[in-house]
Chains A and B, each alone.
Chain A
Amino acid sequence: MTQQLKLGRVPAGGALLRRISADRPARPVYVALALLVVLGWLVFALDGGTFLGQENIVGIQQRSAALGIVAVGQTLVILAGSLDLSVAYLISLTSLVTAEIMAGADANVPAAVAAALAVSALIGLANGLIVTRLRVHAFIATLGVALVVRGALDARYDGPAGSVPESFQHLGYDRIGPLPVSALLWAAVAACAWLLLSRTRLGYRIYAVGGDAEVARLSGVRTERVVVVAHVLCSVCAGIAGLLLASRLGAGAPTVGTDGGYDLESIAAVVLGGTALAGGRGGVAGTVGGVLLLAVLDSIFNQLEVNSFAKDVVRGVILVAALAIYARGRRTR
């Protein structure tokens, strides 16, 4: 750190933005989150609610868990310089696979979990191979895979199907004190991803490939494989989110992913967390902050009973403003 200060020609005055965003991309989102929590506390206090009450805290966690898990996966592909637009349909698919295989019986739970994860891994593999081997831009590749999954959903399912046994619904509804199991699952997924990115070779390579694929290749990184693995992990995260939603809903639903808007919203959460859309820069911590930011915002909207159109406007403005601030922070370096 001292080294850095010496080298980093920090201009004496101003540049607050720079200092909070330069080498710690996740920091600004937590600053914003802290401000928003204060704002939320104020709003709730004035509106006669308790922001930090158990109901609300649990609510925020419950609402953000599924998006959070998807966004962690999305972080991995974005860091690797790719993108996944197929997660929403994949979530629907895995929720259905889970619920149908479980068919209400406890005995089927392990098989169903395994099948859901396998299906999602397979879709991730398809995404990864199309991006790397067929050299299709990730935007188009994953959009195409999304359409294929949608076709499969439309053809096979018309409405919620399957059912999840009581035991599996603990995942969606139980909590330990103020911590819902779903949030713990999210935390576990995020922790794994954090460990993966900061302490494993695969993680280092994800950054390398996203930062500069050619450099990574010349350093002996099998870039295509890294991108494929990132896609598989992202899809598995979506699969876990599908499991969680199946547990919440008690059944699988062919529209649960798209209704939730998990594709674009997960990307929004990732970039709100300071991860560069172009890859190679950022991390899971920022994404968690981004998801929490959106969830706290939602909670404030709920308290104020803001209608959904106004919410969209505010979300859009926040997204663009946040990215403008990041861009500014990077530029005034």
Chain B
Amino acid sequence: MLSYSRRFLAAAALAVLTLPVAACTSDKPAPSASGAPAGAPAGSAAPADKGTGEQSKFFVQADYDAQMAMRKAQPTGPSDKPWEQTIDPQLVDTAEYKKAGPYHLCFSNAAVDNPWRQVGWKTMQAEVALHKEITKFTALDAEGKDDKQISDIAELTGKGCDALIVSPNTTATLTPAVSGACPKVPVIVFDRGVQTDCPVTFIKPIGGYAFGAAAAEFLVDKVPAGGKILALRILPGVDVLETRWSAAKVAFDKSDLQVVGVEFTDGDAAKTKSVVSDYIQRYGKIDGVWMDAGATAVAAVEAFEDAGQPVPPINGEDQQDFLKKWSDAKLTAIAPTYPTYQWRTPVIAALKVLKGEQVPKVWNLPQPAITQENLATYLKPGMPPLHYALCGCEDLPGYPEKWGGTS
């Protein structure tokens, strides 16, 4: 009995091995001109033990330094339209892509499975609607599946798009698909990058290091020396989140604060609240909370309230529920952002490319942090609790109803 099954396994294996030889057509492009793999991780010798653990293998010193510099740099472009601003641009010529309208834009979206992407996606659709010269906009949602996004990109390149916008689900795994699309259509990548420089432009806010550093520096500033810090992270292994933590680690290692715990919350509010409650119980008092994303910040704040303790300095993100809590409970807080207005930029960039205008090779968008001073401007009553304040969508048609708010 076993021998038969083994025979079939062998047959299957043979099929696997021989088929590629017989293949005669390939949808996969020639090897991309230059793979731009992540630079070697800079070994950072941890000074004293601050409870922050090993530095992430995602940490790249050069990128870190670049982002730290960008935080201080002055963006160029209209200051009331941060999504059109850019920091330190190195412009590239796009004349080769110039063509007359009307245009058919295509978009391969990684997913719309969280509020950040929801807000961004609505913003992008509204941006598209602003431009009469875009007569057709085809978007495919990969539902968080790398494999589907690879197929989606392949499908879109065959649909006669004039430009292809890609928001990759993961960096490494989408690289072959994007480099496959580049020769056929101008590609614009945003949010996460890919490991090839074939896209015409790559749009991103300053980045994760800037986010993590902003929050950590705030805590270093506000929490008295020796204070106990609890760091809450969503998941390990997600590049954009790893960079946030690794920058925070650098800041904490240099400080005189003690990080008593680094916990993963899966982005689950109940789990966040439980973790924070456990720490309050165990240490009696926590002097500061650092978070790599704001989605569960309110739950963390509530854990202190429920324990009958004052809320220590904390960071969140630009979601309305946190901003409201901040304002109502008069927190000592900061909200670094990863602005959703970046979803407007790819459309603008695509049109620039198609009109032959220059665009930055890497389009760094400013990445403001919400502080006590400007909190009021970002607090928008009537918007849903999980709405992101930095959507840059207030001037778009359909606001606020389209984003779930009431005027």
Contacts and interface: CB of A to CB of B under 8 A. Distances in A.
B23 A308 contact: no
A188 B18 CA distance: 12
B386 interface: no
A154 interface: yes
A201 interface: yes
Contacts of A192: 8, 11-12, 15
A305 B138 contact: yes
B33 interface: no
Interface in A112-129: 113, 117
Given A170-B26, A250-B175, A260 B147 contact: yes
A253 B170 contact: yes
A173 B27 contact: yes
Interface stretch (A11-19, A177-185, A207-215): A177-185
Contacts of A201: 1, 4
13 contacts: A62-B154, A158-B242, A160-B170, A160-B172, A173-B27, A181-B19, A184-B19, A200-B4, A201-B4, A233-B5, A250-B175, A261-B145, A302-B152
Contacts of A166: 31
Contacts, number: 178
A55 B161 CA distance: 14
Interface in B1-39: 1-2, 4-5, 8-9, 11-13, 15-17, 19-20, 22-28, 31
A202 interface: yes
A189 B15 CA distance: 9
Contact of B28 (A56, A158, A173): A173
A174 B4 contact: no
B173 A256 contact: yes
B278 interface: no
B239 interface: yes
A256 B147 contact: yes
A19 B236 CA distance: 54
Interface residues of A, number: 68
A236 interface: yes
A174 B20 contact: yes
Contacts of B261: none
Given A174-B23, A196-B5, A254 B237 contact: yes
A159 B58 contact: yes
Contacts of A159: 58, 170, 172, 237-239, 242
B375 interface: no
A175 B26 contact: yes
A108 interface: no
Contacts of A233: 5, 9
A294 interface: no
B171 interface: yes
A248 B151 CA distance: 9
A59 B154 contact: yes
A245 interface: yes
A274 interface: no
In the A-B complex, the 8 residue pairs with the smallest Cβ-Cβ separation, listed nearest first, are: A158-B237, A173-B28, A174-B23, A249-B173, A55-B158, A188-B15, A170-B20, A160-B172
Contacts of B242: 158-159
Contacts of A256: 145-147, 173
Chain A binding surface, main DSSP class: helix
Given A158-B237, A160-B171, A202-B4, A167 B20 contact: yes
Contacts of A160: 170-173
B260 interface: no
A63 interface: yes
B155 interface: yes
A225 B28 contact: no
B150 interface: yes
Interface residues of B, number: 58
A259 B145 CA distance: 5
Contacts of B173: 160, 249-251, 253, 256
B4 A55 contact: no
Given A158-B236, A202-B2, A253-B146, 19 more contacts: A55-B155, A63-B147, A63-B151, A113-B13, A157-B237, A158-B237, A159-B238, A174-B20, A175-B27, A188-B12, A188-B16, A196-B8, A253-B172, A256-B145, A259-B143, A260-B145, A261-B145, A302-B140, A308-B143
A307 B112 contact: yes
A249 B150 contact: yes
A50 to B, nearest CB: 10
B254 interface: no
A259 B144 contact: yes
Interface of B: 1-2, 4-5, 8-9, 11-13, 15-17, 19-20, 22-28, 31, 57-58, 111-113, 138-141, 143-148, 150-152, 154-155, 158-159, 169-176, 180, 236-239, 242
Interface string A226-243: 100100010010001001
Contacts of A180: 27
Contacts of B16: 113, 171, 185, 188, 240, 243
A240 B12 contact: yes
Contacts of B22: 176
A173 B26 contact: yes
B5 A175 contact: no
B27 A174 contact: yes
A150 interface: no
A169 interface: yes
A172 interface: yes
A147 B28 CA distance: 35
A195 B4 CA distance: 11
Contact of A169 (B13, B24, B176): B176
B386 to A, nearest CB: 16
Given A59-B151, A63-B151, A192-B12, A172 B28 contact: yes
A305 B150 CA distance: 17
Contacts of A62: 150-151, 154
Contacts of B138: 305
B268 to A, nearest CB: 16
Contacts of A154: 236-237
B25 A175 contact: yes
A222 B2 CA distance: 12
B175 A117 contact: no
A243 B113 CA distance: 27
**Interface core residue of B17, B27, B58, B147 (most chain A CB under 10 Å):** B147
Given A160-B172, A181-B19, A192-B11, A169 B145 contact: no
B159 A249 contact: no
Nearest to A222: B1
A178 B44 CA distance: 52
Contacts of B150: 62, 248-249
Given A159-B237, A175-B26, A192-B11, A305 B155 contact: no
